[in-house]
Amino acid sequence: MKYFGLKVHEAHKLIKDREISSEQLTKSIMDRIEDVEGIVHGYVTVTKEYALKKAREMDKKIAEGEEPGPLSGIPCAIKDNICTKDILTTCSSKILKNFKPPYSATVYQKLEEQGCIMIGKTNMDEFAMGSSTENSGFFTTRNPWDPARVPGGSSGGSSAVVAADEALFALGSDTGGSIRQPASFCGVVGFKPTYGRVSRYGLIAFASSLDQIGPITKDVRDCALILNAICGHDPMDSTSVSADVPDFTRFVDKDIKGIKLGVPKEYYTMQIDDSVKKETGEAVTNLANIGAEKVELEMPYTAYALPAYYLINPAEASSNLARYDGIRYGFTYEDAENLLEAYKKTRSSGFGPEVKRRIMLGTYALSSGYYEDYYLKAQKVRSLIARDFDQAFKNCDVIVTPTAPTVSFRTGEKIDDPLMMYLNDIFTVPVSMAGLPAVSIPCGFVNGLPVGLQIIGKPFDEGTIIKVASAFERMLALDKVKPLFGSYVRGGA
């Protein structure tokens, strides 16, 4: 029996009804990892013995009469920039290749309290800087739909292992699209909550005013379940917002009649493949056919989001990554003759080319004489982008756009052209700049590769996003379509 193909809510029902145990489910996932990980390369670390031990403990509690919660005994994967106490957390960087945190991130603690079983840490672009997972300091993750193509990034490992049934769900982080874009490329559901909705405590910082943790799942209901578990105020995070957290599952399988869908013309006039434009356009038509109302929007500052983001993002990265000096933790260059040489050689050897590029760009943008011309102006543009969204939401309930301008591209195709790589984030970056919630859900296929639809909501209105996404998913049932490789048999749960 192949339990690895189950969704979270399906597995919960079987565990609750005592039809399967957490250990059986975890072993099935481990067998799946053994079968396909040689193709996917989604994990930096697999915690097999730890996971099986936790699964047995959960089964014992259930046998003794404890009522299993919605995530009790559910195997999950965690992106490798989320701290897990005494378990390797590398950010897929050589500079942290042996780092074991002395504490766990709040989100991971919450999942543990819910009874989740962590089965491993997933590969990513180094320090979350990239859109293809090719910038990992260790290896490149492959797309389960076509192993010659990238899974997206930076949460490429998390998206790939969910698509490949190597985890029932995963956590990722999103700075400018790093949950949504790989979810689009891998044909899964990826949700970036409102900035401040989920604690960032224990998330290794990249760009602190943009970073946000969120779930990557096989369907929208699972996404709602994980949001229930990880959202909420955390006094350990100064950016965490004390806002009520609804039961997000209440928004699943609801009617969307009368909901206004904003469609900004700017998102369809920028660089976008005609085939992706066609699929996402048909998705909007399908939503209108089940009762939603299409509203045309103008968002004139959209075109400035990417250049502003690529000033703010490196500037904050430059500041955050200054702490990796080889003195207190992580990789240290052993043969330096003095302290300055130790700093230089540690950082030169420990950081990859994309990280170095962003540190240099950010340091330049923050330097004396350039701060006002670059960083300060970028922050002013950020305010204008947020104002665009504020105006747009006066006329609609959600905004619907493509998630990415193309389907997954071939490994190596863009790695030597940073500008072309950055353009992958053209539709996701504006949302991050405004701190808004958004989801990517599968909406179709181009040449057998998934296309993602992005649904953007008002601040702290994740529920309306889930309502629209669930209705769309129910109509097309694309959550039932999987990549076929390894020993997978369609429908074989």
List active site positions. 79, 154, 178
Distance in angstroms (rounded) separating the CA atoms of residues 411 and 377: 35
Cβ distance 200 to 240 under 8 Å? Answer: yes
Burial 143-172 (b: 16+ CB within 10 A, else e): bbbbbebbbbbbbbbbbbbbbbbbbbbbbb
SS3 397: coil
What stretches of 199-239 show up as alpha helix (H) in DSSP?
220-230
Distance in angstroms (rounded) separating the CA atoms of residues 400 and 287: 10
E-only strand ranges, 202-290: 212-217, 260-264
Reported as type and span, the H/E element at residue 471 is: helix 462-476
CA dist list (Å): 225 to 46, 117, 173, 241, 408: 24, 15, 17, 20, 28
465 contacts: CB under 8 Å, gap ≥ 6 = 191, 398, 437, 438, 439, 455, 456, 457
Q: How many CB atoms are closer than 10 A to CB 271?
A: 9
DSSP 373: I
19 contacts: CB under 8 Å, gap ≥ 6 = none
Question: Minimal CA–CA distance to 469: which of 441, 450, 437?
Answer: 441
Q: How many CB atoms are closer than 10 A to CB 477?
A: 9
Distance in angstroms (rounded) separating the CA atoms of residues 173 and 471: 25
Q: Which residues sit opposite 146 in a β-bridge?
A: 143
Termini Cα distance of the chain: 7
Q: How many residues does the chain have?
A: 493
User: Which residue's structure tokens are 């504490």?
Assistant: 103
Distance in angstroms (rounded) separating the CA atoms of residues 228 and 316: 30
